[in-house]
Structure 1
């Protein structure tokens, strides 16, 4: 077979194969429209999310002074929010041998420590003031104060915890709250007394260092924009345990009434061994 015969044979073979269909213009347009619509939907969703975030930001900034104006009755979570990567910091093991569901201990040794702290807080209520029972929002039953234990992280392989206890107090028509929060040794809170006091719930305020025996206590005698409490004191024990004690009136519109403790007495409560949990 010469070259001409080979070319003629190939032409015959190609004529026997069906040509592929020509692309449909309508189909191409429909595909292009679908792609365009998908892009627009994604852009619209992104714009909506940005708008929502913007609205949230405006609401947060719309408070008169930028602070949290909740009354002392409102208790924030003692522990910081969980890390975005929860696998990086596993929860502690509960009394059932399983990891806790979240940072709050609801049974076991840590829970018992927080309950103990509440019992001890009640014993420091000064004469003339009574600890009041309140109705629990969880159980609907009357209870004398509240308590909570929260896992706050790890440092050097050691678990860090905070214990919180709070009790309503009254004297005549005056009603308010006493609260203490204790952080276990190894915590990363500031060491300087007033820096430590201002760190409490991030409330800042006007602080004065006060001496109680050999101890120096930071006492916020006047709150700043965030006035969930009227006064609070902070003390770091030599073993690293940090104790915060706070007091505040519920009715800020009522005529001024004396708080349960003077600023110096509040400093003394902060170093009181009854609140020194180890």
Structure 2
């Protein structure tokens, strides 16, 4: 039977007989780091998804879009046609000096722009309305769209629920930076918002022409939305809706009139690059 000393000597002999692996090159090290970060974020996303399920179950007032017509605070903000394929490479460089792993910026200047948009959205909440909060709402997001003629185009989106008495709904602002390939004509532009159609009316705000969809065509994600392209190419969408299926004894009136919605689309507070 082997005693302790003999066991230690056998282990030393075995270790010295092994060949050390070659050192990792720079690319291999970066690849390993990225894979580790991906695994970590995947785990965090799974945990976040589980928490969102609990939140939606608890805050049952906010139904999923298209199912009762309400707003789900756990749903992805970007629902438009420009979301695109998340398999493209390379993504823009993040603040850590490495390419992003997908379209969404989770730190840095672009992320801060999305947060700024939410801050500005808070400033336009009409008197008498409150902003209910949950783990998933209000919310903001910054997403890379595409590169056009060497210029990166980004989308910033912020949304928040609103309540007034028994009335509940939500408002949303989405900004597309200059270089985007969206339409120029106001109503054609308005009908490009998330690919939704509807009855559109051009509304004049000072010297600006704004497309306002006053009645969605077969869509129930939003009741009304406005679209405006600034002279420098920045596009702003502002949308509002009430939650279907909830107690609407407080009335069916939306927070903003059509002219107010158009004015918000032109408002410089939402003109971000």
* TM-score in terms of structure 1 length: 0.69
- Offset at residue 134 of structure 1 (A): 1.8
Give the alignment's Cα RMSD to 1 decimal: 1.7
Query: Structure 1 residues 112, 228: closer, same or farther in 2, change over 3 A?
Result: same
> Aligned residue for 1:97?
97
Which residue of structure 2 aligns with residue 119 of structure 1?
119
Larger radius of gyration: 1
Q: After TM superposition, what 4+ stretches of structure 1 lie above 2 angstroms from structure 2? A: 74-79, 251-256
Deviations 1:227-265 (A, max 9, x none): 200000000011100000000001256454210001111
1:82 deviates by 1.6
Deviation of 1:76 (Å): 4.3
> Which residue number corresponds to residue 266 of structure 1?
261
Query: Runs of 5+ in structure 1 lacking a partner?
Result: 1-67, 137-142
| Equivalent runs, 1:75-224 vs 2, <5 Å | 75-76=75-76, 78=78, 79-82=82-85, 86-87=88-89, 90-136=90-136, 145-224=138-217
Query: Structure 2 length as normaliser, TM-score?
Result: 0.70
Aligned mates of 1:147, 1:241 — CA distance in 2: 18
Q: Deviations over 1:165-212 (max 9, x none)?
A: 001111111010010000000100000000000100001111000000
Contact 1:203 1:227 in 2 (8 A): no
Give me the whole-angstrom Cα distance separating, in 2, the residues matched to 1:167 and 1:116. 14
Shift of residue 132, structure 1, vs aligned partner: 1.9
Find 2:240's aligned residue among 243, 247, 251. 247
**How many residues of Structure 1 are paired with residues of Structure 2 in the alignment?**
201
